[in-house]
Structure 1
């Protein structure tokens, strides 16, 4: 008689493959890819005012806020400065910077 836990061992590799594939697709879809509209997420508890000020300090132009106070949508002047603005945001404490268009539904 086969134990139920042995059946789970057979299922585990397929489940891990599914989870890793899903994570990979999320990263590919949400990573900034040359578009100028981005979203920045700061640590929970960061005020909207602080998020906007840090976004402006990094070189971005805040265009809106997300569903939480620690999230802001912003644009950059051009694609040449986008990488520098993203690096500046990380230096100022941002947790993540992602594609604002792909992630818009998550933040509204």
Structure 2
């Protein structure tokens, strides 16, 4: 994979962590998917407690995460780096991990949601 894209992704996650200290209070995951022709995400599935969901919305973090993922998907597509349409973001005690998945690795319900 392109080292520049890996660096961009890591820097983006670091910036998000720096700008949103509320991340330390969150444990959960987010599955995301973009159709081949889409430049933005077409489906997401948030796996967080109700309290965490409220914090995500009220802090603006949910929008920031979606904007970041849209940008990273678009960058991977532009650079023709695969996988580039689906993934999972894990949040645990302020740590962010981004896992890119091949479409066949995505849960079936996620793919149906995007249709």
Q: What TM-score, normalized by structure 1, do the two folds share?
A: 0.28
Quick check: which has more Rg, 1 or 2? Answer: 1
